[in-house]
Chain A
Amino acid sequence: MTDHQIMSDVRNGYVEKLAILFERHYVSLFNYFLRLTGNREVSEDLVQDVFTRILKYRATYQGEDRYIVWMFKIARNAHIDALRRRKEALPLDEQLAEPADAEPLPEDRLEREQDSALVSKALGLLPPRKQEILVLSRFQHMKYREIAELLDCPVGTVKAMIHRAVAELGEIYAALTREKCHDM
C-alpha cells in the first residue's frame, strides 16, 4: 500500500493505520530534525508533534501533494513553531556550547567522530534556509522539484540555493578545521 492510500484511510477514520506511516518515516523525520536542531530530545518531541498534527489535521489531507511533501510541510511548521518558542530564550553562549566530553574512544573512531562533529557544527552554522534545503536534498533525498513545492519557490531558486549552501558549508568547515588545528 502506498503512503497516499494509507493516509487517505487515516483521513477517513481508520486512524490506527497511522502506525504504518509512523514506522515508515519516524527515523527519517528524527534525522531531519536532528540535523536542524542538533538536539536529540527536541527532535524526538518534534517527531511526536508531527504525528499529533497529522491526526489533528487529517481531514485536510487532499492527496494533491505527494504524502511525503505534505508530511514535511507539517514538519517544517512544527520546527518553525518550536524555534519561535525556544530560539530567543536561549542565551548565545549556550547556543554555541560544545557537547560534553564523553569517555575516550579508539583513535580511528575518535577521528571519525571528531570529523562528523565538525561537519555537523559547520552545518549548524549555515543560515537556516540553506541548512534546511541541504538537509532535504542530501539526507532526505528529496528531488529539487519536491523541495520547490515544499518551500513554495521556483526550482531554479532551490538549485541556486543548493550551490551556494554547499559552497558556504565548505568555507565554514575549512574555517572550523583551521580553528581546531590552531587550538591543538
Chain B
Amino acid sequence: MTCDDARAHLPDFLTGELSAKAKSSVDAHLAACGACAEEFHKVSETWMKLGVLPVEQPSAALRDRFYTMLEAYKEGLDARTADRKAEKAFSIREFFSWKRPAFRFAAAAALLFVGLAGGLFVGRSGAFNEKFARLERQVDDMRQTTALSLLRQPSSSERLLGVSYSEQMRAPGEQTLTALFRILDTDPSVNVRLAVVDALFLFAKDNRVKDGLVASLGRQESPLVQVALIDLLTEAREQKAVDALKALIADDKIHPDVREKAKQGVKNLTS
C-alpha cells in the first residue's frame, strides 16, 4: 500500500467504516511509515477533539412556536376545505361582477393604495440601497485588507486564516486573486494550497479565476492538489481544462489516481 492509498482510507478510518481487510493493510502501512502515522494521529486527534462540543438543547419557546404554527396551519387547511365546499353553492362569477357597486369601489381603492405605496417604496428604497451598498463595500474592503495581510504571513496557519477571510468576500480584488494564485502555485504547505482551491471554487464563475486554475493545473506536483483542481474544474464545467487534463493523462510521471481522475474529467467535460 502506498502513502496515497493509505490516506485515501483516512475518512473511513475516522468514522470506523473501514473493512477489516483494509484496516489491517492500513495498520501495516502505518507501522512502516512515520509520516503517514503522524498524519493519521494528528487528524484522528482533531476528529476526537470535536467530541468536546456538547449537544445543546434549544429553548422551550421553540416547541411552543412549532405547535402554534402547526395548529394555525391545520386550522387554515380545515377552513380552506370548508370554503371549497361552500364555493360549490355560490357563484364566484356573480360575486365579482363589475355590476356590483361595492366591488367597483373596492377595486378603485385598492389600485390607489398600490400606486401610493409603490411610489413611497421606490422613493425610500433608492436611498436605502445606496447606503447598504456603501456599507457592503466597506466590509469587503476590510476583508480584503485583513486577508492580504494574513496571506503574507510566514506561518501556514495564518495563511489558512487569510484564505478563510478571502472566501467571505463577494468578489476578491485583483491583489487578493494574485496572492491566492501565488499561494496555490508556490506555497510549501499542501493544506494551504488545497484551502486555496476550495476558496477559488466560490469564484469559479469569474473568467480570471477559471483561466488561472487551468494554468495552475499544469504547475502542480502534489497529487492531492491535482485531484482537487480536477474536481473543481469538472464541477465548474470548464471546457478550457480539457487540454490541460489531456496533458496530465499523457504525462508518464503522473500518479495513476490522478491520471484516472483526469480521464473521468475529460469524459465528463466532453459528454
Contacts of B227 in A (CB 8 A): 160
Are A164 and B49 within 8 A (Cβ)?
no
Task: Indicate if A8 sits at the interface (CB-CB under 8 A).
Answer: no
**Binary CB contact string for chain B from 1 to 34 against chain A (1 if under 8 A, 0 otherwise):** 0000001101110110100000000000000000
Residues of B with C-beta under 8 A to A163:
7, 10-11, 43
Check B11 against A26 for contact (C-beta < 8 Å): no
For A62, the chain B residues whose CB sits under 8 A away are none
- Within 8 Å by CB of B56, from A18, A31, A160, lies A31
A31 to B58, CA, bound (A): 8
B70–A18 CB distance below 8 A: yes
B163-182 CB mask vs A (1 if < 8 Å, else 0) is 11001101000000000000
Set of chain A residues within 8 Å of B11, measured between Cβ atoms? 144, 158-160, 162-163
Is A116 in contact with B198, judged by CB distance below 8 angstroms? no
State whether the Cβ of A153 lies closer than 8 Å to any Cβ in chain B: yes
Q: With contacts A153-B235, A171-B156 known, is A48 near B62, CB below 8 A?
A: yes
Q: Which residue of B lies closest to A179 (CB)?
A: B157
A171 touches B14 (CB 8 A): no
Q: What residues of A have a CB within 8 angstroms of the CB of B156 in the complex? A: 171
Chain B residues with Cβ below 8 Å from A19 are 66-67, 70
Q: Give the CA-CA distance A88 to B43 in the complex, in Å.
A: 33
Q: Which residue of A lies closest to B133 (CB)?
A: A88
Q: Is B238 part of the binding interface, using a Cβ–Cβ cutoff of 8 Å?
A: no
Which residues of B in the span 37-96 have a Cβ within 8 Å of any Cβ on A? 39, 42-43, 45-47, 49-50, 52-59, 61-63, 65-67, 69-70, 73-74, 77
**Cα A157 to Cα B198 with chains together (Å):** 12
The answer to the question of B161 belonging to the interface, with a C-beta cut-off of 8 Å to chain A, is: yes
B70→A171 contact, CB < 8 A: no
Contacts of A117-164 to chain B: CB distance below 8 A: 119-120, 123, 125-130, 134, 137-139, 143-144, 153, 157-164
Contact yes or no, B73 A55, CB < 8 A: yes
Among A39-47, A63-71, A72-80, A99-107, the stretch that binds chain B is: A39-47
Which chain A positions have C-beta within 8 A of B70? 15-16, 18-19, 22, 51, 55
For the complex, give the distance between the alpha carbons of A48 and B43 in Å: 35
Asked if A89 lies at the interface with its beta carbon under 8 angstroms from chain B, I say yes
Identify the closest chain B residue to A17 (Cβ): B70
List, in ascending order, chain A residues with CB within 8 A of B161's CB: 125, 172, 175
Q: Which residues of B contact A134 (CB under 8 A)?
A: 50
Report how many residues on chain B are interfacial, defined by Cβ distance under 8 Å: 64
Residue in B52, B199, B231 whose CB lies within 8 Å of A116: B52
User: Which A residues touch B46, using CB under 8 A?
Assistant: 166-167, 169-170, 173
Shortest CB–CB separation between residue A26 and chain B, in angstroms? 7
Known: A26-B63, A164-B198, A170-B45. A51 touches B56 (CB 8 A): no
**Which of B53, B66, B155, B168 touches A35 (beta carbons < 8 Å)?**
B53
Q: Given known contacts A30-B62, A119-B49, A127-B164, is B77 in contact with A160 (CB within 8 Å)?
A: no
The 16 sampled A-B contact pairs (Cβ below 8 Å) are A44-B61, A44-B65, A47-B58, A51-B69, A92-B139, A119-B49, A125-B161, A127-B195, A153-B235, A163-B10, A166-B14, A166-B46, A167-B39, A167-B43, A168-B191, A173-B46
B-binding residues in A (CB < 8 A) = 13, 15-16, 18-19, 22, 26-27, 30-31, 34-35, 40, 43-44, 47-48, 51-52, 55, 87-92, 112, 115-116, 119-120, 123, 125-130, 134, 137-139, 143-144, 153, 157-164, 166-175, 178
4 nearest CB pairs, A to B = A175-B157, A170-B46, A159-B11, A30-B58
